[in-house]
Amino acid sequence: MHNGTTITQFIIEEQRHIQGASGDFTSLLNDIITAIKVISNVVNKGALIGVMGSAGSENVQGETQKELDVITNEIFIKSNEWAGHLAAMASEEMDDVYPIPAQYPRGKYLLVFDPLDGSSNVDVNISVGTIFSILRCPGECATHPSAQAFLQPGVQQVCAGYALYGSSTMLVLTSGHGVNGFTLDRDIGEFILTHPNMTIPADTKEFAINASNQRFWEPPVQRYVEEALAGKTGPRGKDFNMRWVASMVAEVHRILMRGGIFMYPKDTKDPAKAGKLRLLYEANPMSFIVEQAGGASSTGRERILDVQPDGLHQRVPVILGSKNEVETVISYHKD
């Protein structure tokens, strides 16, 4: 028995505050939620349905795709191509834009997504997730949506969210009015509002970074981590804990629940790459969520949501989380 607010109810109530809302956005979100329920089911079954291996292919970034990367990408496309809300989609797993097939009506929104973030962890049963972002299709883009239509800075996102497939399946969402978390009740097949108005504490004693890359970090990040490791006796005057899950959804979720800072900074490991994480599919949606929860997000040199994208698969350095810690790292970059 439950009497909580369902996600559908929550979205419809939000829609009522928007003058002239057509219901398109609400319907689009419902299609995304359906895709997430299907993916949650597939991920939870895992090895039982024999989909844990490599797909024998690479994505546009040259990373080996897992079978689940390909399957979840297909689920997202099939759930969202038919209803007439979208002009096109773009995915971390596809080289180019996916225009809506000619037999379906086209709408005024664009959808970008990472269908299975952290999929390198899937065979060891560590939390993975889905990240998505909704943009408006600019001008007449609905007739001929090109990659150019997607190259909008993060401040122009209409909505961003992620699903976390962990001990429970959660969906965390913002449309620019704070951040809310919903938990999937499998008994009734509905997401229920369980974490209203999620906020990130401004201060923290936890940082997350891949320490094996230390020799490649720039001096500001070296300095920050050295000072954190020095603890109470160092210049920061407090002891820190380090965390690293190697699944961005899990890292950001932990920060939303209890604070922290997550860093995948610029380094010299591969000078051709500005960073590791993708601006459109990972950095922008997560930065929108983090800022809406009172946190901060930066490349170290500029606010991520202000970055003007120059390509569908552009990478950026990411430093996000508790505001005061992020601002400390930014100040070290300025020094």
Domain count, the chain: 2
Question: Same domain for 216 and 111?
Answer: no
Question: Same domain for 214 and 304?
Answer: yes
Question: Between 272 and 168, where is the model more confident?
Answer: 168
- In the numeric block, which tokens belong to residue 118? 């952290």
Question: Same domain for 186 and 248?
Answer: no
Question: Same domain for 170 and 215?
Answer: no
> Could you tell me the pLDDT band of residue 57, with boundaries at 50, 70 and 90?
low
Query: Residue 319: what are its φ and ψ, rounded to 5°?
Result: -135, 110
Question: Same domain for 109 and 224?
Answer: no
User: Kindly report the CA angle at 184 between 181 and 187, in degrees rounded to 5?
Assistant: 150
54, pLDDT greater than 80: no
CB contact at 8 A, 208 and 225? no
Q: How many CB atoms lie within 10 A of CB 29?
A: 24
Question: Same domain for 183 and 60?
Answer: yes
pLDDT digits (tens, 9 = 90+) for 313-328: 999 999 999 999 999 9
Question: Same domain for 158 and 114?
Answer: yes
pTM value? 0.94
Question: Same domain for 269 and 225?
Answer: yes
Q: Is residue 248 part of a domain?
A: yes
188-199 burial code (b ≥16 CB/10 A, e <16): eebbbeeeeebe
* SS3 state of residue 39: helix
Question: Same domain for 218 and 184?
Answer: no
Q: Is residue 53 part of a domain?
A: yes
Question: Same domain for 46 and 186?
Answer: yes
CA distance 99 to 104: 10
Q: Exposed, middle or buried, 321 (CB in 10 Å: 0-12/13-18/19+)?
A: buried
Question: Same domain for 247 and 282?
Answer: yes
Residue 240: CA count within 13 A, CB half-sphere:
25
Q: Where are the beta strands (DSSP E) in 38-155?
A: 54-58, 64-66, 86-91, 98-99, 109-117, 128-136
pLDDT digits (tens, 9 = 90+) for 99-144: 999 999 999 999 999 999 988 887 788 899 999 999 999 877 767 7
> Could you tell me the pLDDT band of residue 14, with boundaries at 50, 70 and 90?
confident
Domain with residue 243: its CATH number is 3.40.190.80
Q: Is residue 221 part of a domain?
A: yes
H-type helices in 164-247, by residue range? 219-230
> Could you tell me the pLDDT band of residue 23, with boundaries at 50, 70 and 90?
confident
Last residue of a domain, one of 195, 225, 251: 195
Question: Same domain for 172 and 211?
Answer: no
257-289 burial code (b ≥16 CB/10 A, e <16): eebbbbbbbbbeeeeeeebbbbbbbbbbbbbbb
Last residue of a domain, one of 171, 195, 219: 195
DSSP 8-state class, residue 310: -
Mean pLDDT value of segment 222-241: 97
Q: Is residue 1 part of a domain?
A: no
- In the numeric block, which tokens belong to residue 180? 């809310």
- In the numeric block, which tokens belong to residue 290? 């983090």
3, pLDDT greater than 80: no
pLDDT digits (tens, 9 = 90+) for 293-315: 999 999 999 999 999 999 999 99
Q: Which residues contact 135 (CB under 8 A, 6 or more apart)?
A: 109, 110, 111, 112, 150, 152, 156, 157, 158
Last residue of a domain, one of 149, 164, 195: 195
Q: Is residue 2 part of a domain?
A: no
Domain with residue 60: its CATH number is 3.30.540.10
Q: Is residue 226 part of a domain?
A: yes
Print the domain residue range for 256.
206-334
Q: Is residue 200 part of a domain?
A: no
